[in-house]
Structure 1
Amino acid sequence: MSVALDFGTATLKSLRNIDGQLKARSAPSVYAALPDSHSRRKLLEQLKIPSAVCEDNLVMMGQAAEEYARMFQTPCIPLLPDGRIPADDPPARQMIASLLHALLPEPVRPGELCSITLPGEPLTRQEEQETEFLKRLIRLQGYTPQPMSAGMAVVLAELVGDSFTGMGISLGASFTEISVAVHGVEIIRCCVPRGGNWIDEQLAVENEHYAWDSSGHQFLDTSRSREWKEQWGGSLQKPRTRDEKLLVRLYEELIGHAAGKVSAALSKSRRAAEIRGKLAVAVTGGPTHIGGFDEFFARCLAQHDLPLDTERIRPAAQSAYTVARGLLIQAELETGTAASARRAA
């Protein structure tokens, strides 16, 4: 058996194949802190809201934080600020460990494979240490961690009919990740440190969406922008209002930045010549559900001279778990290969 863990900035997701049935678990990667008091403890208990005591605060994690933070006039705080595991925040690390414990089931056998992805790519020593922290947590759960990029996971999940050859793009909360693969081998990996959170922030600033916590401190309320963006029923091809036009400009900037990175990487890659014909492109992430996304994304790519021809954009059908599905495919392929090797020996 094997399991996949998509360690996303906005949501942590796990996926497992049990007797041919996919079992999914998820939790928002946020928390909310309230000043500790007897009255607040009693209220949380009466409302049956799960919480924990952390230093001088009462902490709600995951779904509880997302549902009740606004009611208690406190902001939702990301467990992964800017998509990174905090190095100097022991309580946040403890909460990450608690959520992982809830998401990962007990392994059938010690050392089962857990294919994981992290937001972005570790480029510094500090970021490598963050990755090691997560791997250590997974080992403590009884699994063997195997990292993979989000873009490559999209390729495995969506491009089986193309022999796992093409471009996989994950439009995440903190990062936009792109991988180009040839027959299941990643030849290019690019990462742009911008995503849905950046767009939410720009919309909130433009509209002066601010809120105040119970202590009177002001904070940028990005939740209003995110809710509007997710519920918007318009088309990226036909923006009408000021906010809609701003949203289109922000996505154009984000996709343009990503396309520029891919173009530069492809022009330097010797293996890019192995790609014959048009390149299949699979995309996953929240924006793929917006009307007109296919045509809009294709137009944005066409404005940047990629050294390869691309096919019609293919948004992932089950976007929420696309990356997790790709991770699970990789884990099961590796598990099957290892089992075959043991039988041959």
Structure 2
Amino acid sequence: MIAAIDFGSCWIRSATRAPEDDSRMRMISERSEYAMLPATDLHRETLRAQQIPFAECEDTLVVIGNHAAATHWLSRVPCTPLFVDGRVPTNDRPARQMIGVLIESMLPLVSDEEAPGLCVMTVPGCRDGVDTAATNELFLSRLVQMRGYETLVVRPSHAAVLATCGDAQFTGMTIVVGAETTDLCVSRLGMPIASAEIPVGCNWVDLELARQYQIQKFDEHGTGYLDLDAVRQWKQYSDIHLRTPVSERERTLVRLFSVVMDRICRSVAGLMKNSQVQSAFASNRIPVILSGGAARTKGFASLLTERFIDHGIAEQIQAIRGADDPDTAVLRGCLVCAELESETLLRNNAA
């Protein structure tokens, strides 16, 4: 069994492919959050009537994953992310159990009769020089291994190369703008040469927009919470283009994205000065491919191009384009990596 799983701070996505039928692929996406509701008979009856699965934890009903979004009308309190700030919960045992439940529902169990499966995976949050990185990787890897898989952890930008750079012989720069982090990688013929990461992503943009415009929801006690879901729905369903903002809110969105892009530009400039990158590309320009949720925003690529010009690095770039289906680019790259690694293992075992 070959599998891939992309642990994101907003979404957990998995893909599996059975060896007996390579033509069929199974993909699942679950929101990485949970909702908490009062443990009343009325709430239980409502959830059962709506066929929404739930668990009971002390005096609370807990709904996880995609089902949590279906309970918004039952509670005025926003859902809680499973990976707060891109970290695996350490002192929240129920949340750790919820992550395990989601993995069980998303990854088929490899039977004892089958050879060990292989799962290529990403982990949320920053990895370079961060103490929590090893904890994140160890905990999530163990949960996947309990399903019968050997695990291989890769960076999101490394995986994105295999899914998005085929037309350029898997050569170029991939930038994955995630919820909590932005990951960058320069590759040549599919091999990573240099990487960088930035501890900021779309969640920071959404949070700042909600703060500046006081986009809130209030519970029955009058306590206010920043309504990030409302911000995300506005971004998704409004006809927003970052190059032609109309309202003041849209102009604020452009300014916030520009702050993130300035940090991306500084990281790109650092990568371009890397001796291995300079040796591999010499005077050749590097294509840039964007992945992650931000890449779906209209005008993102052209606004980033403008920031590259302002930072004096545009002459080193061939073009900037968004990946096809940018939300799943990392997951698809993980699956390609799993297939390549599986073939290598089979050849080694045969030898």
Residues 156-205 of structure 1: CA distance to partner in whole angstroms, max 9, x if unpaired?
A: 11112222211011111111111111222212221111111111111111
What is the total number of aligned residue pairs between the two structures? 344
- The separation in 1 between residues aligned to 2:241 and 2:216, in whole angstroms, is 27
Mapped pair 1:178 → 2:181: no
Which of 209, 218, 225 is residue 224 of structure 2 equivalent to?
218
Mapped pair 1:112 → 2:117: yes
- The separation in 1 between residues aligned to 2:309 and 2:66, in whole angstroms, is 40
The alpha-carbon deviation at position 267 of structure 1 amounts to: 1.8
Mapped pair 1:261 → 2:267: yes
The alpha-carbon deviation at position 39 of structure 1 amounts to: 2.8
Residues 41-68 of structure 1: CA distance to partner in whole angstroms, max 9, x if unpaired?
A: 2222222221101232110111111121
- The separation in 1 between residues aligned to 2:160 and 2:300, in whole angstroms, is 17
TM norm structure 1: 0.94
Which of 283, 301, 306 is residue 294 of structure 1 equivalent to?
301
Inter-CA distance 70–205: structure 2 relative to 1 (3 Å threshold): farther
Mapped pair 1:195 → 2:201: yes
What is the DSSP-based 3-state SS (H/G/I as helix, E as strand, rest coil) of the residue aligned with 2:197?
A: strand
Mapped pair 1:329 → 2:336: yes
Question: Which residue of structure 1 lines up, in the alignment, with residue 41 of structure 2?
Answer: 38
What is the DSSP-based 3-state SS (H/G/I as helix, E as strand, rest coil) of the residue aligned with 2:74?
A: coil
TM norm structure 2: 0.93
The alpha-carbon deviation at position 313 of structure 1 amounts to: 1.3
Within 5 Å, give how 1:130-279 maps onto structure 2: 130-276=136-282, 277-279=284-286
Which of 37, 56, 61 is residue 64 of structure 2 equivalent to?
61
Does the 8 A contact of 1:74 with 1:214 survive in 2?
no
Does the 8 A contact of 1:9 with 1:173 survive in 2?
yes
The alpha-carbon deviation at position 324 of structure 1 amounts to: 0.5
- The separation in 1 between residues aligned to 2:183 and 2:315, in whole angstroms, is 18
Amino acid at match of 2:267: K
Residues 285-306 of structure 1: CA distance to partner in whole angstroms, max 9, x if unpaired?
A: 2232232333222112222233
- The separation in 1 between residues aligned to 2:245 and 2:183, in whole angstroms, is 26
Residues 1-25 of structure 1: CA distance to partner in whole angstroms, max 9, x if unpaired?
A: 3111011111100112342122211
Show structure 1 runs of 5+ residues with no match: none
Question: Which residue of structure 2 lines up, in the alignment, with residue 26 of structure 1?
Answer: 29
Show structure 2 runs of 5+ residues with no match: none
- The separation in 1 between residues aligned to 2:222 and 2:266, in whole angstroms, is 43
The alpha-carbon deviation at position 308 of structure 1 amounts to: 6.8
Which of 71, 74, 78 is residue 75 of structure 1 equivalent to?
78
Mapped pair 1:340 → 2:343: no
Inter-CA distance 329–143: structure 2 relative to 1 (3 Å threshold): same
Amino acid at match of 2:167: G
Aligned-pair identity (%): 32
Amino acid at match of 2:118: L
